[in-house]
Structure 1
């Protein structure tokens, strides 16, 4: 409830009298077909153009992205060979920057090649530095809704786009108020130079390096802030197949981080001096959700199996057990429908869906959310490893070109 109420609080807009020099880092492995829209948005920034530089990171020395980046935004291009993780790409570029120009930048912004930056994005990120926080996470809008091509959106993309509202407005807004490390997203994120120097680059190697940054906030004490006035537009997969694979990659990275760092966080929380209460958000905030969903689903599944068995051998009881199973599963579905509705209400000024799209999302999104259960099962039962690779991109056509 407190998380939900915090979402309606007004976020103060900061002002910074200092113009900081900022590096924009764009991991762009094989992204030549989609990156031009990002460069267009960077060329329209209201922040002083002499105060930020664009650094593009590729893997192949003959990647067409290189010529595009130099022509459109006069970018510095870093060729980082044999990239298997986004963290390797960022680490290679940052190590070069720290070696050649260690004191040139006050902060580094990471933005994905398929994103767009709001015209005031860098300006607001600079303003956010006035907070004194070391890591800033911006607000995510959905790029699909900015395209005039209806093929750029689908019911699946409309559903998965709500995840950003759930993480930021229904989670990070509350964390801001209580000085709890915010949940990170690997795009639209700014890191101050003192953190980068302390890390000596970007040492994160799981599939979700952004989650590792949040862990370091817990373990090393880096401060963070969710600043909703700094806006990027991120792209959501239109096809269910692509969306499922992307979500599986996210949860695989989450599982990797959990296995790698959870013991250290528990030790830091309970056994190194006073109990660190703000770490409970990371350790236990989702526990009630897991218990509720797990118990309800188990009761529903067991009930359905029992009803089937009784239908074969004790038919008079079958219908009663079947109804109990349906009630248990219906309870989960109803709660997820309500949660979806609340999410839509929180971000109602931003979400660009028609009336019938909203109705469809309310009733379909519980199934999309429930897929996370199946994804977890796949992760723990599959021996295959997911790679960091490119996914299918939408055909983005700006509305202004209509």
Structure 2
């Protein structure tokens, strides 16, 4: 309940009299078709242009992105060969920057090549440094809703777009107030230079290196902040196939992190001095949700199978069992519908859907959320070896008034 109530509280806008020198890091492997929009948005920043530099990271020395980056934003380009993870790209660039001039920057901002930066994004990130927190996560708006091309949105993208509100406003807002490490999204994230120097670069190698950063906040004591006034626009996949692939990759990375670090976090939480209560948010906050959803779905599926078996033999118990199964499934569906409505209310000023799109999302989103169960099953039964691959991008067309 505290998580939900915190979502409706306004975050204070910070002010910073100090202009910090900031590096913008853009992993851009094979992103020449989409990255120009990001460059255009960086050229519109209200923050002093002499106080931030753009660093673009590519894999291929012949990548067209290189010429675009130098021409559009006078970027420094880092060629990191044989990238299989985003973390490898960031690590190569950061080590090169630290080697050349370790004291040049006060903070580093990571932003994906398919994003757009709000005109005040870097200004607000600089303001966020006044909080004293070492890692700052910005607010994610959805780029699909800003495009004048209607083909850049769909019911699937409308549903999956709500995940950012669920993670940030329905989760991180409460963590801010309790000084609990916030959940990270690898784009629109700022890391202070002292953290980068302590890490010696970017040592994270799972598919979700941003989640590894959150784990390091728990293990190394880094402080973090969700700051909703620093806004980036990210994009969501329009096709279900692409969306499913993305979510499969995210949850695979989540599972990798959980297996790699959970024992260390449990040890630090319970066995190295006093119990660290704030770590319980990471360890157990979603357990009641998993138990409720898991039991309800299992009861529903088992009930449906049992009812079908009884029906084949014309047994009188078929209908009562079927009712129990439908009630179990309906309960899960109803809770997810209510959760979707709450999410839409929290971000109602930002979510740009028509009335009928909202209605459709309320009824479809529970099915999209339920797919995470199937994805988890896929991960545990056939984990495979997913790579950091490029995915299909939307055709973003800026509106005329931009």
User: Normalised by the size of structure 2, how large is the TM-score?
Assistant: 0.99
- 1:312 Cα shift? 2.3
Secondary structure of the corresponding residue to residue 401 of structure 1:
coil
Q: C-alpha root-mean-square deviation of aligned residues, in Å?
A: 0.8
| CA distance, structure 1, for counterparts of residue 200 and residue 165 of structure 2 | 32
Tell me the equivalent position of 2:67.
67
- 1:305 Cα shift? 1.1
| CA distance, structure 1, for counterparts of residue 305 and residue 195 of structure 2 | 54
Tell me the equivalent position of 1:254.
254
Q: How does 1:2-401 map to 2 (within 5 A)?
A: 2-313=2-313, 315-400=315-400
Secondary structure of the corresponding residue to residue 55 of structure 1:
strand
| CA distance, structure 2, for counterparts of residue 362 and residue 101 of structure 1 | 51
Q: Against the structure 1 CA distance between its residues 323 and 186, is the aligned structure 2 distance closer, same or farther, given a 3 Å change threshold?
A: same
| CA distance, structure 2, for counterparts of residue 131 and residue 319 of structure 1 | 60
| CA distance, structure 1, for counterparts of residue 400 and residue 262 of structure 2 | 47
| 1:363-398 CA distance string (max 9 Å, x none) | 000000000000001101114211101000000001
Q: Which moved more, 1:90-99 or 1:305-314?
A: 305-314
| CA distance, structure 1, for counterparts of residue 138 and residue 260 of structure 2 | 27
- 1:154 Cα shift? 0.3
- 1:143 Cα shift? 0.3
| 1:204-230 CA distance string (max 9 Å, x none) | 000000000000000000000000000
- 1:308 Cα shift? 1.2
- 1:41 Cα shift? 0.2
| 1:250-284 CA distance string (max 9 Å, x none) | 00000000000000000010000100000000000
| CA distance, structure 1, for counterparts of residue 317 and residue 52 of structure 2 | 71
| 1:34-78 CA distance string (max 9 Å, x none) | 000000000000000000000000000000000000000000000
- 1:314 Cα shift? 5.0
| CA distance, structure 1, for counterparts of residue 342 and residue 86 of structure 2 | 33
Secondary structure of the corresponding residue to residue 400 of structure 2:
helix
- 1:400 Cα shift? 2.0
| CA distance, structure 2, for counterparts of residue 167 and residue 17 of structure 1 | 31
- 1:401 Cα shift? 6.2
Which sections of structure 1, spanning at least 5 residues, go unmatched? none
| CA distance, structure 1, for counterparts of residue 339 and residue 383 of structure 2 | 33
- 1:309 Cα shift? 1.5
| CA distance, structure 2, for counterparts of residue 130 and residue 29 of structure 1 | 33
| CA distance, structure 1, for counterparts of residue 369 and residue 137 of structure 2 | 24
Secondary structure of the corresponding residue to residue 202 of structure 2:
coil
- 1:10 Cα shift? 1.1
Secondary structure of the corresponding residue to residue 231 of structure 2:
strand
| CA distance, structure 1, for counterparts of residue 400 and residue 79 of structure 2 | 34
| CA distance, structure 2, for counterparts of residue 298 and residue 148 of structure 1 | 43
- 1:100 Cα shift? 0.3
Q: Against the structure 1 CA distance between its residues 99 and 391, is the aligned structure 2 distance closer, same or farther, given a 3 Å change threshold?
A: same
- 1:310 Cα shift? 1.3
| CA distance, structure 1, for counterparts of residue 365 and residue 358 of structure 2 | 10
| 1:68-122 CA distance string (max 9 Å, x none) | 0000000000000000000000000000000001000000000000000000000
| CA distance, structure 1, for counterparts of residue 321 and residue 252 of structure 2 | 36
- 1:315 Cα shift? 1.8
| CA distance, structure 1, for counterparts of residue 355 and residue 178 of structure 2 | 36
| CA distance, structure 2, for counterparts of residue 381 and residue 5 of structure 1 | 38
| CA distance, structure 2, for counterparts of residue 35 and residue 119 of structure 1 | 16
- 1:313 Cα shift? 3.0
